[in-house]
Amino acid sequence: MKRDDEESLQRGAKLLLEGATLGMEHCPQCKMPIYILRDKTLYCATCDVKLVKEEDLKKKDNDEKVRADNKKPTKRKTASPIQAKIDQLAKQLEEETDPEKMVELAETIKKLENIRDS
């Protein structure tokens, strides 16, 4: 066995101990099985090089898809500050005895309702 082979085997054995696995693919240069490191990097122990793989590109595509899905339009809040004000004024109107102020309150409520519904 050549010394180079021995070194690459030792590198490979060390990788496996560190949690790497042997991949299904083979190195385009030396045709030896490629190791998959724990961070999903493809690595050829024989050539001692890391390889760029297609899955990285696919993963990026998926990330962008997820981001696109998050762009859903936000629902209109039902409990708006305007609605809270309308409720408050409605209560005031119930207790109001001054006709002028009653009209004033009623008009304000109507205006607020128009804003709320617009």
Closest CA to 12 of 2, 23, 53: 23
Our finding on whether 29 is near Zn ion (CB under 5 A) is yes
Write each residue from 35 to 74 as x if it is in contact with Zn ion (CB under 5 A), else as -, in one continuous string: ---------x-xx---------------------------
- Whether 33 and 26 have beta carbons less than 8 Å apart is answered as yes
- Nearest 5°: the CA angle 14, 50, 42 is 70
Considering beta carbons, is residue 16 or 84 the nearer one to Zn ion? 16
CB of 45 to Zn ion, least distance (A): 8
Place of tokens 């024989």: 46
Nearer to Zn ion, 8 or 112 (CB): 8
Find, among 91, 84, 81, 90, the residue nearest to 108 by Cα. 90
Cβ proximity to Zn ion: between 46 and 109 the closer is 46
Q: Which residues bind Zn ion (CB under 5 A)?
A: 27, 29-30, 44, 46-47
